[in-house]
Structure formats: C-alpha cells, structure tokens
Amino acid sequence: MEPEAPCTQRLRATIRGRVQGVGFRFFVARVGRRLHLCGHVRNLPGGRRVEVIAQGPRPALDALIQELQAGPPLAIVESVTVAREAPADDLPAFAIRA
C-alpha cells in the first residue's frame, strides 16, 4: 500500500508591524521556497502590513506561520492574522509581488 500524499491546503496571512523596509518579503520568499510552498508575498498600502498567500501541505503551512510570527531580525511583528482558504491551481512557485 502506497502512503497517501499530504493534503494541500491554502492560507492567507496578514502580518502587521514594522514589516516593510526590513527584508520581510525576501525572508518570507526564502522560507516559502525552503518549505516547497506555492504562493506569494507582497507589501500592502500604508507601510505596516504584508500579505502572504501560500499553498501546500498543512505541516509546511504551520511551519510558515511560525516563521511569520518571528520574522527577520530587523522586523517587529505585532500580529499575524491567518485565514484558511480552499486550495486552487493558480499559484506558481513562491515569489515576491510588487
């Protein structure tokens, strides 16, 4: 009997705090690629929020959330809000969006 493939799930996370101008998007892109997730990260208007959309196995998404809560060294993460969504086939390999 072959092992079952991990279920693919999708999340949308909004990270608030000092998260723009500190390498946060590059940090998230590296983590997403390391975890073999599909998705993207982008700055949101206002200068204090970043949005992440990611898709992959639940354990990898959980690891991503932990990394988002920590952030890179210069970031100050005040909150991470996560919404689970239905998976779709519209996401390429993890990328940074303008």
Q: Which residues are known catalytic residues?
A: 25, 43
User: What gap in Å lies between CA 36 and CA 44, rounded to an integer?
Assistant: 24
d(CA 90, CA 38): 9
**Phi, psi (rounded to 5 degrees) for 62:** -65, -40
Residue 44's DSSP bridge partners are: 49
